[in-house]
Amino acid sequence: MKNTGWDSYQLFLDVARGGGLTGAVVSSGLSAATIGRRMLELEGQIGRSLFERSQAGYMLTGDGQALFDQLLEMEATARKVDSWQRDAQGGAVVRIAAGTWVGWLLSQNMPSICSERDGFRIDLHLGERRASLAHRESDIGIRAFEPEESNLAAIKTGDVAYAAYQARNMRFAGPQRWIAVAEEEAISAYLRWPYQNKREGIAFTVSRPRSMYDLVLAGSGIAVLPCFVGDQEPRLERTGEEIALLRHQQWIVMNNADRHRREIRTVVDRMTRLLKSHSELFAGKRPTYA
């Protein structure tokens, strides 16, 4: 067991709490096949059977239940250590996990989220993979759907719309040239859309969504972007109507046990006001630049 990483134990907890692989897929961003393989590896490392597998799901064995109970104690201890560490650093830390573009908007408006008068600091983690609030890797997250986990609370902030954008007044003489994130990094639906609909037209692939924006501005091609990004940029224009299939809801998510901590409640309230004040822009309703 000494060679077993905490990430494997976290996956085990996800599977055990959800009674199968589906919940762990949602919380970890890994495929069901990968999680199933990781659980077999964990059982091999420990030398004990942890699950009874059936079509109905994954049921804990006696050894699995014993491990589950021990890991719950470890989680509680880890939370105490985190709190102790924050106190030693002289102030609380509020950890926010957000996707590339919501994080971009938060960064532009960070003085309204945290100022020099606040007794806490912000740790902003950006990425397309969703952080697990269940294990308190983050205090606040932004999700594209209402959470199913019973220990999470959520506030709906509105809808998010998407469209294809190109540099204003840019016209391609030949076939349209599309820009996409590398397929193995295309986690979100809007990142997968070019592969599902314009695969033959993809001329550029990049490692990060933010680079698509830069290439579009440079006139290199067309990319799918959130409307709250593309519609704010006067140098960009939509190439067509909203891509309706990509529209989704947006939720601010936090752990139920932490939601009433003063600093988290403060940040959540401020984020809610910010995102709701941009609801028309998020929903693609604000007129584009003429």
* Residue 40, domain member (yes or no): yes
Q: Which H or E run includes 269? A: helix 262-277
Prediction pTM value: 0.68
pLDDT at 5: 79
Same domain, 138 and 238: no
Q: Which of 44, 62, 82 is the last residue before a domain boundary? A: 82
| Residue 42 structural domain | 6-82
Task: Kindly state the DSSP code that residue 48 receives in the 8-state scheme.
Answer: S
pLDDT at 290: 43
* Residue 288, domain member (yes or no): no
Same domain, 167 and 216: yes
Say how many domains are in the chain. Answer: 3
Closest by Cα among 134, 135, 166 to 149: 134
Averaged in consecutive runs of 10 residues, what is the pLDDT profile of the chain (290 residues)? Answer: 73 88 77 92 93 90 93 77 61 87 94 88 81 66 84 91 92 83 91 96 94 95 96 94 96 86 92 95 74
Longest pairwise C-alpha distance within the chain: 67
Closest by Cα among 157, 140, 121, 188 to 250: 157
Q: How far apart are CA 169 and CA 129, in angstroms?
A: 34
Q: How far apart are CA 4 and CA 52, in angstroms?
A: 21
- Domain harbouring 27, CATH code: 1.10.10.10
Same domain, 241 and 257: no
- Domain harbouring 100, CATH code: 3.40.190.10
